[in-house]
Structure 1
Amino acid sequence: MEQVHKKLVSSEKAVQIGRLVYAYPSEGERFYLRVLLNHVRDPTSFISIRTVRGVVSPTFRECCEKLGLVETDSSLDNALSEAVTFQMPRVLRRMFATIMVYCEYTNIRTLWDKHYESMAEDYRHVHGNSLIVEQFVLRDIADILSSMGKDIRNYGLPSMQLSGETNRDYCRDLTEERKIVVSDEDIKLAESLNAEQMEGFNEILDHVMTNRGKVFFVDGPGGPGKTYLYKTLLARVRSTDRIAIATATSGIAASIMPGGRTAHSRFKIPIKLEDNSVCNFTKQSGTAELLREASLIIWDEVAMT
């Protein structure tokens, strides 16, 4: 503590001239001294300012905790536990990183072990490999820490790999597809299909459910209900935890379908086509993995007049 006290002499002098220099939570004991100086009346020494009900605390932080001036490890743990009930995993990861940087939690690894499953829930739905899921979570937290000027390697968390299949881009497309919400309204669309729509719906769905690949061509002028059929198929397939990709040649047509994107965007098709043009993704990319996992791909070709 003597070394800490020497470093904080300038802060004590600042109080004597009537101006208290600002300190960030990440500055540790200097920050907690500043908190005490703002709340303890007429301190006469470093020992007196750390004394609560006749007992001298070994650190400024512990003194702050006894006085209820800062969050304790227990309250931060409880805050994360409470957030699990109403926050998305990505929000929990940001909250965890913030605690790492600004709250000086005593044992970050224990906090990680307790709340890891909640922070990894979205990635776990996409990828069954637990090691890869862990790497995705670590990479997200590392990115957040980096934006705060911190290095994840200094906090005692599991080791983070830097290459290979754990590249976050690999599963980005799968993650986005898995996050598409299927509404009850879309699920019920099948109840109002007409006879022709129902015939097409049943045949296409039968091939999807039995994993029998086939190409279907749905033809008709504008307005007969093709998009209605597409939305019904997308909802039914996605409700069975399968991947269903919705694309169209125009942005307007794509926006009508839940999770829809233009074919050029989804399949990396060059805008200007040449004789030797190819889709701009490799078989190791996230787009390729998405196509391999897909049970249904809808391409709405909008006729140009």
Structure 2
Amino acid sequence: MYPAVYSLHLHLEDQHPVTFRANDDLINIVNLDRSRKSMLTEFFALNRVDENAKRLLYKEFLEYYVWNQQNKDWTPQKKKTVIGRIVTANPFEGKRYYLRILLNHVRGPLLFDDLKIVDGVVAPTFRKAATMHELLQRDSSLEDCLQESSLYQMPSSLRRLFVTILVYCNPTNRMELWKRFEQDMSDDFKSTEDSISNVRTQVLKSISFTIESMGKDINSYHLLDDDICFDEEEFQSREIDDELAVEILEEDIAASQSLNNGPGGTGKTFLYRALLATVRSIKLVALATASSGVAAPILPGGQTAHSRFKLPLDTDERNTCCVSKQIALANLLRAAKLIIWDEAPMTRKQHIEAFDKMLRDINDSDVTFGAKVVVFGGDFRQVLPVVRKGTRQQQVNSSSVYSYL
């Protein structure tokens, strides 16, 4: 309640949100002067004309200025005790995250690009500028990120952020970060566990499960002096339990009786949901995936194929999915009776081949896809044809559209 805390906008250049009514003309909205303004853009603008503003960090602005939402500008005020907090950015967000670090340490920038200038040298990226300012050398930015998040994030969200930092940011002080934020990440378990050791075990299990879902091992990060061990059978079954707990809608179960006369407009998704509901309703594991993050959430329990199968980012024929036989994901894939992959024609042939090799490996099978039932779906009309250059004109080899599967 006191002191008051206000969030400050954080966005990359020309990527701030604009509010408008549903029936407004978008061209007029884009052309309005106020549509080009945000707290951050007007912070830069005021620095260009106000010497007092140039002495302040972005987060200190609310002590001397008040944001007028109607006029989209900063108005001077008498100094008061107000805490300005720049909207949190996850290290996985890249440019936006490093922009936030610079805004917390650089005074008086006039433009986004001014934040890249360090001792007269223009850095190519925000990350490089943060490095030149020595803001990344002691991992203080990661600690600041966790500290701010601990003030308002739920413990489960804080644990996910902690894992993201471990996996993608490679901090040098992992054990120190764990010791400092262990209590903040433990609050939800304190009410259900009867001892401190049990609370710690549950927190580490949660962290380990998330790390393993990213294809890593918690012991490679050395959070404790000794290796972290759990009841392997209990731990390995968690992914399967989570899949079996996916909600099954009555309308999806009923859909299996209407496949030949579905209502107008139903199609692939209608079929996918019917298949998933039928398999899950008899307590069997069915996995729903899609090639894009837009299509995946449409399916109950859906994930992207890259996330679920740990597909390689490179498409070299020698690359394989990052799934060991010993991890929980391998158990889940072995237990799956049905795997659905929507938008399959939009993925690369090498990804499907890597998926095939992985299923054969973890199932100890020479049969295609490890003898699993795999449903590939999608619209081949969404696949771009392969264009080959001729001597006079570009010719399209239409057979190439179908050959890569």
* TM-score past 0.5 threshold: no
TM-score normalised per structure 2: 0.30
Larger RCO, structures 1/2 (Cα 8 Å, 6+ apart): 1
Structure ranking higher in strand proportion: 2
Structure possessing the higher radius of gyration over alpha carbons: 1
TM-score by length of 1: 0.39
Q: Which has the higher helix share?
A: 1
